[in-house]
Amino acid sequence: MHILVIGGAGYIGSHVVKELLQHGVQVTVFDDMSTGQNENLFPQAAFIKGDILDVSALEAVMNGVDGVVHLAAKKAVGESMEHPEKYAVNNITGTLNILNVMAKCGVKNFVFSSSAAVYGMPQYVPVDEKHPTEPINFYGFTKLEIERFLPWYGNLKGINWIALRYFNAVGYDADGDVKGLEKNPQNLLPIVMETAVGIRQGMKIFGNDYDTEDGTCVRDYIHVSDLASAHWLALDYLSKGGSSQSLNLGTGKGISVWEMVKATERLSGQKVNYDFSERRAGDPSLLVAASDTANAVLGWKPVHSDLDNIIRTTWAMYQK
Ligand code: UDP
């Protein structure tokens, strides 16, 4: 099997590449290196630097591949609300370019990195795939918009697809084979880590008056190596004629911001300076996934996502 991994030099993409290589897949990485990193490239995978807005570059790499994993997206929620145009062009136009080139070249199997952001404010938890999709930020809108195109491209162009709705991606490869630290991280755990190593003087915990056990927000943190395994399983499933659908990827277990900070202090031996500040707009108090469908359809189960392993594998990277 020869798979084109678009965005394969990024944080999640590089873990996906490692997983595919371990299953004997021939991998070509296509990445514009805007956030991808050279240290994340594996010598066993071919690498082409290119932009998903460049249709001829996509055509040049598409011939002869059996499937595409697409993770090349802009993903900063705040930025998406300030510069929706960037997100429209990159996440929507760019993905449509990929689908159109796949259709032209007869490539049938597509695994799309989607997000829990398609759901918006949870109306119930755990959130399953039947939960209403009402994104509250433009990033989530772009992901949902592509999910709405996919059944059409399935029916009209014969593209089989799985959209993987990631909850909160965290952690690093336990073997240290992915070497690039995410640049300019915007998410909780890297911010906690940067505070623990002293890159930041302190951090803010956004709200401690939520209706949760310790008052801070609860999220479903899923280890990136568990996300990676789902991509392999999805490709394998599609290659055997599996049916197109969207699947949640989470653990079903919630961890609070406070627990994340305290676990980092415990496992790193470093103090994390934090202040409680105002709630951040748009944050639900509790968001956890029901991933029973991914388990039933793909046989997927998270095995790397316990809190200690999440912290240990991340801390190991920040110590370097
Ligand atoms: N958070 C925080 N301080 C920070 C960054 C995040 O308290 O500096 C909280 C945020 O309010 C949310 C949780 O950490 O409750 C996870 O936020 P993140 O931005 O990582 O992911 P999200 O759940 O928003 O996709």
pLDDT of residue 121: 95
189 CA: nearest ligand 1 atom: 20
Residue nearest (by alpha carbon) to ligand 1 atom 5? 188
Both tokens of 96, joined, read 């449509």
pLDDT of residue 290: 98
Looking at the structure, do residues 205 and 280 belong to the same domain, yes or no?
A: yes
Looking at the structure, do residues 156 and 303 belong to the same domain, yes or no?
A: no
CA of 180 to the centre of ligand 1 (A): 22
**Angle ∠(231,181,277) on CA atoms, nearest 5:** 100
Looking at the structure, do residues 46 and 161 belong to the same domain, yes or no?
A: yes
Query: Residue 182: inside a domain, yes or no?
Result: no
SS (H, E, C) the chain: CEEEEECCCCHHHHHHHHHHHHCCCEEEEEECCCCCCHHHCCCCCEEEECCCCCHHHHHHHHCCCCEEEECCCCCCHHHHHHCHHHHHHHHHHHHHHHHHHHHHHCCCEEEEEEEHHHCCCCCCCCECCCCCCCCCCHHHHHHHHHHHHHHHHHHHHCCEEEEEEECEEECCCCCCCCCCCCCCCCCHHHHHHHHHHCCCCCEEEECCCCCCCCCCCEECEEEHHHHHHHHHHHHHHHHCCCCCEEEEECCCCCEEHHHHHHHHHHHHCCCCCEEEECCCCCCCCEECECCHHHHHHHCCCCCCCCHHHHHHHHHHHHHC
Amino acid at 253: K
Q: Is any atom of ligand 1 closer than 6 Å to the C-beta of 169?
A: no
Instruction: Kindly tell me the burial class for residue 149, based on how many C-beta atoms sit within 10 Å of its own C-beta (0-12, 13-18, 19 or more).
Output: middle
* Tokens 């505070």 found at: 195
Looking at the structure, do residues 164 and 24 belong to the same domain, yes or no?
A: yes
Looking at the structure, do residues 27 and 165 belong to the same domain, yes or no?
A: yes
pLDDT of residue 61: 98
Alpha-carbon gap, residue 83 to 61, rounded angstroms: 30
Query: Residue 127: inside a domain, yes or no?
Result: yes
pLDDT of residue 320: 87
Looking at the structure, do residues 200 and 121 belong to the same domain, yes or no?
A: no
The predicted model scores a pTM of 0.98
**pLDDT tens per residue, the chain (320 residues)?**
999 999 999 999 999 999 999 999 999 999 999 999 999 999 999 999 999 999 999 999 999 999 999 999 999 999 999 999 999 999 999 999 999 999 999 999 999 999 999 999 999 999 999 999 999 999 999 999 999 999 999 999 999 999 999 999 999 999 999 999 988 888 999 999 999 999 999 999 999 999 999 999 999 999 999 999 999 999 999 999 999 999 999 999 999 999 999 999 999 999 999 999 999 988 999 999 999 999 999 999 999 999 999 999 999 999 98
> Which among 231, 249, 267 is the end of a domain?
249
Looking at the structure, do residues 84 and 135 belong to the same domain, yes or no?
A: yes
Amino acid at 125: V
CA of 283 to the centre of ligand 1 (A): 8
Q: Is any atom of ligand 1 closer than 6 Å to the C-beta of 274?
A: no
Expressed as residue numbers, the domain containing 297 is 188-219+252-319
pLDDT of residue 184: 84
Alpha-carbon gap, residue 68 to 166, rounded angstroms: 18
Both tokens of 258, joined, read 């406070």
Looking at the structure, do residues 213 and 102 belong to the same domain, yes or no?
A: no
For residue 175, give Cα distances in angstroms to 24, 78, 126, 171, 229. 18, 32, 32, 12, 15
Q: Is any atom of ligand 1 closer than 6 Å to the C-beta of 191?
A: yes
- Kindly report the CATH number assigned to the domain that includes residue 258: 3.90.25.10
pLDDT of residue 318: 96
Looking at the structure, do residues 214 and 71 belong to the same domain, yes or no?
A: no
Amino acid at 139: Y
Looking at the structure, do residues 166 and 313 belong to the same domain, yes or no?
A: no
Q: Which of the listed residues 136, 187, 251, 278 should we mutate to test ligand 1's pocket, taking the one with most ligand atoms within 8 A of CB?
A: 187
Both tokens of 260, joined, read 């994340």
**CA atoms within 13 Å, Cβ hemisphere of 157:** 22
Residue nearest (by alpha carbon) to ligand 1 atom 21? 187
Angle between helices 257-268 and 188-197 (to 10 degrees): 40
Looking at the structure, do residues 26 and 62 belong to the same domain, yes or no?
A: yes
- Kindly report the CATH number assigned to the domain that includes residue 99: 3.40.50.720
pLDDT of residue 282: 87
Alpha-carbon gap, residue 235 to 9, rounded angstroms: 19
Catalytic positions, please? 139
Looking at the structure, do residues 45 and 58 belong to the same domain, yes or no?
A: yes
Query: Residue 176: inside a domain, yes or no?
Result: no
